[in-house]
Amino acid sequence: MLDNRPRFATRFGVIATTVGSAVGLGNIWRFPYEAGAHGGGAFLILYIACIAFIGIPVVCAEFVMGRASRLNIFGAFRTLAPRGGRRWAVVGGMGIMASIMILSFYSVVAGWTIEYLWQSVAGTLADIDSAGRHAAFDTFTGGWRCVMWTIVILALNGVIMLGGVQKGIERASNWLMPVLFLLLVVLAVNSLLLPGAADGLKFFFTPDFSSMTADDVLAALGQAFFSLSLGLGTMMIYGSYFSSRTRLVRSAATTAALDTLVAITAGVIIFPAVFSYGAEPSAGPKLVFEVLPDIFNHMSGGSVWSSAFFLLLLLASLTSTISMSEISVAYFCEQWRMKRRTAVVVNFVLVASLGTLCALSFGPLAHRTVFGMTFFNLFDFVTSNVMMPLGGMLISFFTGWILDRRILESELSPTPRAIVRGIAFSLRYVAPGAIAIIFVNGLL
């Protein structure tokens, strides 16, 4: 056990960093289009159920493993598993690889937000009409400019990472997260005042289970996993920086509640606007990048709103990228004894190379495919459909069945016994079972 490991300094810092990891493109870009494509209100209810019954227990499992071992995911499995944990360490290795791969494509989308912010501030986004929007998106994502923005995101990420846990990650999250919440509230109020906002709210909040399919349930579970950053060791590495006084169950519940609140607020921002301007709620991943600029164009002071929105998306994604980097940087430092600075540089070089391949997947490398997928799609597919669910399933299985029950109980205390039992039950049966279903479905 390493005693000189850093710790988050304050309770606010604990929540700001974990919420900073959870809240990102997943809430503001992915959640609205998934909800739009999977039935609005009914999706919302299923999503909340997945967060409560599976998400929160798995966040607790990651916190427990992190704080009990005070190590990165690889080291945590090796220390906590019986007989040296060689086999279990493979799960850790998979988490580290997955974090590098996710960061590679996530930073490309985060880079797109810089371009849209740039164009919003310069006013050029408003010059394009809806017919030209699609072509403009394709031209931009097909060129080298998006490689530049990907590198800029990774460089910003590297600078914060160099600052370390308390001075870098915690300090950045402490001011980025409140700014983000403020911006969200302002944008939501603006959307609620739009003519026809009620139709959007009705779509988003009125559940209609009659047309619900198994696919919608699985989409809700997958979204819950992505949004809570589960299955790779993100919450584990942050848990390893918690002080021994931090209450794990309470922190997990607060993180999940705030993450869900942001996703709901993103829906409240987007759906009234979509309905008010006659756009399609099921437009898919382009909803934010193609539909919203159009909507902003119709609004008075549109470029101010679109600048605020893309700034929000940029800040949210930046704090999530930091949590992904921390997985591999902590691994390099703790298992390979690298200095933090060296580890940050190694991580940067690795991710910038893979990120460039992902960024070019929409242009010069669009025809280079592996298993029929571009690098971007391959990384997205392999991480979201294989590595995250598999990692989450194994983490819950490990804490439910293999980890010494006394460690689980003492890390989760002081929490009422009934709640601890409920969490243990989910980790043993509900979470691995449900995740196994998404996993199988994801591969079919």
* Among 16, 22, 146, 343, interactor with ligand PFF by CB under 6 A: 22
Task: Determine contact, residues 61/399, Cβ cutoff 8 Å.
Answer: yes
Judged by CB under 6 A, which of 18, 27, 150, 347 binds ligand PFF? Answer: 27
The CB-of-219 to ligand PFF minimum distance in angstroms stands at 15
What is the end-to-end Cα distance of the chain in Å, rounded?
42
239 touches ligand PFF (CB under 6 A): no
Does 184 bind ligand PFF (CB under 6 A)? Our answer is no
Classify 370 as helix, strand or coil. strand
* Cα–Cα dist 357/90, whole Å: 26
Residue 323 lies near ligand PFF (rule: CB under 6 A): yes
Q: Is 113 in the site for ligand PFF (CB under 6 A)?
A: no
- Interacting residues with ligand PFF between 370 and 429 (CB under 6 A): none
Helix (H) or strand (E) segment spanning residue 352: helix 340-359
List the structure tokens of 359.
């960024």
Distances (CA, A) of 84 to 75, 76, 87, 242, 440: 10, 11, 9, 25, 30
Q: Shortest approach of ligand PFF to residue 355 CB, angstroms?
A: 15
For residue 223, state whether it binds ligand PFF (rule: CB under 6 A). no
What whole-number distance in Å separates Cα of residue 351 and Cα of residue 389? 22
Cβ proximity to ligand PFF: between 324 and 358 the closer is: 324
Number of residues that bind ligand PFF (CB under 6 A): 16
Contact between 25 and ligand PFF per CB under 6 A: yes
CA 51 to chain centre: 14
| 291 to 49, 67, 131, 221, 442: CA distances (angstroms) | 29, 43, 11, 26, 28
**C-alpha to C-alpha distance for 170 and 238, rounded to whole angstroms:** 10
Q: Does 21 bind ligand PFF (CB under 6 A)?
A: yes
Task: Give yes or no for residue 227 binding ligand PFF (CB under 6 A).
Answer: yes
CB of 4 to ligand PFF, least distance (A): 25
CA–CA gap between residue 430 and residue 50 (Å, rounded): 10
The whole-angstrom separation of Cα 130 and Cα 294 is 6
Closer by beta carbon to ligand PFF, 32 or else 302: 32
Q: Which stretch binds ligand PFF (CB under 6 A): 82-90, 228-236, 247-255, 302-310?
A: 228-236
Instruction: Check binding of 260 to ligand PFF (CB under 6 A).
Output: no
CB of 169 to ligand PFF, least distance (A): 13
Q: Which is nearer to ligand PFF, 136 or 221 (CB)?
A: 221
- DSSP class of residue 339 equals -
Binding of residue 232 to ligand PFF (CB under 6 A)? yes
Residues in contact with ligand PFF by CB under 6 A are: 21-22, 24-27, 99, 102, 226-227, 229, 232, 234, 320, 323-324
